[in-house]
Each structure stands twice: as structure tokens, then as C-alpha cells.
């Protein structure tokens, strides 16, 4: 990445961070996905349960494997064999101590934009665990809500 791009993203992240704080979020700015994984691992209590659901970004970060390797209690829908069992595990993930997800987009005002085909990630963010570490790239920052819905659908 060019230096001017990096500087632009840093300024945008700092500005957005202030707006997220005003909305009662606790943003942690990271340089890359590996750093985000490390920060999330520090944040998550090893004695608590973790749910997650359907985020390619979360999977690519390597955090799922890292949590399994430290014997974290995981609520994992991918370990199920039937549709009924999968649905039950997705509901159980809403009662986990933590729920890992990613955000499809974020407006410059700090509004989160999520499009979710099943609804488990949106449910977890809005009504699930008290602690929801959410991965989002500054590249997913958009000016208006309508800009993002076109990109996510």
C-alpha cells in the first residue's frame, strides 16, 4: 500500500473511531488482519464461551483456529451434521459470552451496515452477547447508507 493511502486510512480510522465511541462502541484500530486477530485474542477471556457465524473475514483472520488451539469453549455451527442441529447451535451462539463477526460496511457517521442471509449475525450484534468483537476494514467505509446497500447485495 502506498504511503499516502496508509495515511489517508489512518486519518479516516481516527475520525471514525471518535464517532463510534459516541455511539458506545469501543473501537480498536489495527494495521492489518493479523493484528486484529491478536487484539481480539487478548480481549477474549480464555474461560468464556465464544460463538461465531458465517464471516469470511473472521475465518481468514485465523482467530477461530487460535481459539480452538487454546481450548476455548466454542459454539460452532460448522461442527453440526443436520440442519436442525445447525439451527439450534446458531441459537446457542446468541447466549455465548462473546460473538465474533464482521461488519459489511460502516458509514462515515459510524452507522453499521450488515446484510445477513440467515440473520444470526445481525441477531448477535443487536440482541446477543454483551461482547461482540467485530472485524471491519476501513476500506468498507462509505459516505451514506445507500452507498453500501448496493455493494452488499
- Number of domains the chain contains: 1
**Local structure of residue 54 (DSSP, 8 states):** S
**Domain membership flag for residue 8:** yes
* Residue closest to 25 by CA, chosen among 105, 150, 125, 149: 125
**Domain membership flag for residue 147:** no
Report pLDDT digits (tens) over 15-71.
Answer: 999 999 999 999 999 989 999 999 999 999 999 999 998 899 999 999 999 999 999
Give the 3-state secondary structure of residue 125: helix
**Domain membership flag for residue 37:** yes
Residue 31, Cα to own-chain centre: how many angstroms? 16
102 close to 58: Cβ distance less than 8 angstroms: yes
149 membership: H or E segment, kind and range: helix 145-152
**Domain membership flag for residue 148:** no
The structure's pTM equals: 0.86
> What are the cell numbers at 21?
465511541
**Alpha helices, H only, 1-144:** 3-22, 33-43, 56-61, 63-69, 83-93, 120-127
112 membership: H or E segment, kind and range: strand 112-113
Rg (CA), the chain: 16
40 close to 87: Cβ distance less than 8 angstroms: no
**Domain membership flag for residue 151:** no
**Domain membership flag for residue 128:** yes
Residue 71, Cα to own-chain centre: how many angstroms? 21
> What are the cell numbers at 55?
464471516
**Domain membership flag for residue 153:** no
121 is in which domain, residue-wise? 1-140
152 pLDDT more than 80: no
Report pLDDT digits (tens) over 78-133.
Answer: 999 999 999 999 999 999 999 999 999 888 889 988 888 888 999 998 898 999 99
Amino acid at each position: 500500500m502506498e504511503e499516502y493511502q496508509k495515511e489517508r486510512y489512518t486519518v479516516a480510522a481516527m475520525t471514525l473511531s471518535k464517532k463510534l465511541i459516541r455511539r458506545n462502541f469501543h473501537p480498536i484500530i489495527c494495521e492489518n488482519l493479523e493484528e486484529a486477530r491478536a487484539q481480539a485474542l487478548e480481549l477474549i477471556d480464555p474461560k468464556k464461551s465464544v460463538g461465531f457465524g458465517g464471516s469470511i473475514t473472521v475465518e481468514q483472520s485465523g482467530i477461530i483456529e487460535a481459539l480452538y488451539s487454546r481450548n476455548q469453549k466454542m459454539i460452532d455451527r460448522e461442527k453440526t451434521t443436520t440442519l436442525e442441529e445447525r439451527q439450534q447451535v446458531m441459537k446457542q451462539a446468541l447466549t455465548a459470552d462473546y460473538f465474533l463477526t464482521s461488519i459489511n460496511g460502516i458509514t462515515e457517521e459510524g452507522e453499521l451496515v450488515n446484510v445477513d442471509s440467515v440473520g444470526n449475525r445481525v441477531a448477535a450484534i443487536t440482541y446477543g452477547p454483551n461482547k461482540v468483537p467485530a472485524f471491519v476494514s476501513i476500506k468498507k467505509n462509505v459516505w451514506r447508507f445507500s452507498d453500501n446497500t448496493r455493494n452488499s447485495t
